[in-house]
Amino acid sequence: MHAQASPPLIAQGPEGLMRPTQVLVDTDALAANFAAIRRHVAPAKVMPILKANAYGHGLVPVARLMAALDADYLGVAVLEEGILLRQAGIRTPILVLGGIWGSQIPLFLKYDLTLTASSIEKLQQIDQAAAALGRTARVHLKIDTGMERIGVHDYHAEGFLETALRCRHIQVEGIFSHFANADAADLASARLQLERFHEVLRFYDQRGLPPPLRHMANSAAVLRLPEAHFDLVRPGILLYGVYPSPDVPRTVAVRPALTWKTRVVYFKVTPPERPVSYGWTWAPRQQTRIVTLPVGYGDGYFRAMSNRAQVLIRGRRYPQVGRICMDQMMVDIGWGTAYNGDEVVLIGQQGNERITVEDLAAWAGTIPYEILTNINTRVPRLYTGQHAALVAGPPPGETS
């Protein structure tokens, strides 16, 4: 059983209404996961990754919690996420991991966000924009060791690192790369990427310079590549209590922080051969009891899971039947019992049964990351547990 929900911290609807379809975030699980990762990688520091609404857990609340727990750094994907955190009063250093456009640079400086420089041209744009504003930009250099996404190829890095040293209005605070395959059964390509990164870092050794903050490890590398921890690690999915893949050893014990619930909104008896939902893809063979739930693919409960998903009601598993609609879906409870208003668990535990985010990923033909990040903002988030007070913002009127 999960902890008792604290009073809603995010007023969601008009008239103070709160949808019965809710995500509950266990702040104690988040705090314990963060502490476990910290212990595992020490003395390396930890940069919790909060992109995509903190993997569906709520960007600002999770950032507040991590800041209150003294996280050394926060990582987001895009400028807008960084600005939202600053506007919420978060003062922890924030690295924006994604690519940048020249026109965005003044906003990075205005909001004191750390930039990712992924080419010589971007370095020069940052240097010029910072000079024009009489500022120094804090920058992490991005090295592409095998992802072919953004960053300077390892074999061209020397000129990039030299240019960075010459930029008078740039403080090179960090240098990083990203694994393409750290979660795969075979670690050979991850080791190759690591070797390439080491080769790039020799630049500093050869010049007798201290290297900036070096970082490369995502969750999978946190778990299984201690030699890739360097000065800082960047766990995302692991912080939320989910393992990056079934092929990764579970060397850090974490538990899922997210529960997704709804309630029965309608009950009926459906006769045999009377098909259910759009397309009439499913019909009962015998008379059965069908309940309707007020949740659908518009909330992020993927339509691809139609006729495959299961839910928990009164501690029992039941199959979802017929096509999942945008806002509603049906469940066949057979001769089981359910009443309007009964709690339904979509992800999480009820009685002795549990449905995991991995289950949903398997039903939808995707990975847990995509399930979590697609739970729509239409679904209110509630924060439970001893640490819930830490996710609340300042009282109204007291903006920082």
**What is the smallest separation between the CB atom of 233 and ligand PLP, expressed in angstroms?**
9
Residues 51-80 that bind ligand PLP (CB under 6 A): 51
Q: Is residue 97 a contact point for ligand PLP (CB under 6 A)?
A: yes
Q: Is residue 385 a contact point for ligand PLP (CB under 6 A)?
A: no
Residues 121-180 that bind ligand PLP (CB under 6 A): 178
Judged by beta carbon, residue 179 or residue 260, the one nearer ligand PLP is: 179
- Cα–Cα distances in Å, from 22 out to 12, 323, 343? 10, 21, 11
**What is the smallest separation between the CB atom of 318 and ligand PLP, expressed in angstroms?**
31
Q: Is residue 237 a contact point for ligand PLP (CB under 6 A)?
A: yes
Active site residue 55: no
Piece of 9-17, 237-245, 277-285, 379-387 that binds ligand PLP (CB under 6 A): 237-245
Q: What is 363-382 written as a DSSP string?
A: HHTS-HHHHHHTS-TTS-EE
Judged by beta carbon, residue 160 or residue 318, the one nearer ligand PLP is: 160
Among 49, 117, 161, 344, binds ligand PLP (CB under 6 A): 49
What sections of the chain are H helices per DSSP? Answer: 27-41, 51-55, 59-68, 79-87, 105-110, 120-132, 157-166, 188-206, 219-224, 357-364, 368-373
Active site residue 73: no
Q: Which residues contact 230 (CB under 8 A, 6 or more apart)?
A: 44, 213, 214, 215, 216, 217
Instruction: Give the C-alpha separation, 228 to 230, whole Å.
Output: 6
Tokens 């208003």 — which residue?
A: 341
**φ and ψ of 106, to 5 deg:** -55, -35
Tell me, rounded to whole angstroms, the distance of Cα 199 from its chain centroid: 31
Active-site annotation holder among 51, 122, 266, 339 = 51
Q: Is residue 244 a contact point for ligand PLP (CB under 6 A)?
A: yes
Piece of 104-112, 234-242, 308-316, 374-382 that binds ligand PLP (CB under 6 A): 234-242
Reported as half-sphere exposure (CB side, CA atoms, 13 A), residue 4 has a value of 2
- Total length of the chain: 400
Judged by beta carbon, residue 138 or residue 178, the one nearer ligand PLP is: 178
Is the separation of the CB atoms in 250 and 242 below 8 Å?
Answer: no
At 210 the three-state DSSP class reads coil
Active-site annotation holder among 155, 266, 268, 278 = 278
Among 145, 218, 262, 292, binds ligand PLP (CB under 6 A): 218
User: Between 260 and 299, how does the x/- string for binding to ligand PLP read (CB under 6 A)?
Assistant: ----------------------------------------
**φ and ψ of 228, to 5 deg:** -100, 10
List residues with catalytic annotation. Answer: 51, 278
Query: Which residues here bind ligand PLP, judged by CB under 6 A?
Result: 49, 51, 97, 178, 218-219, 234-238, 244
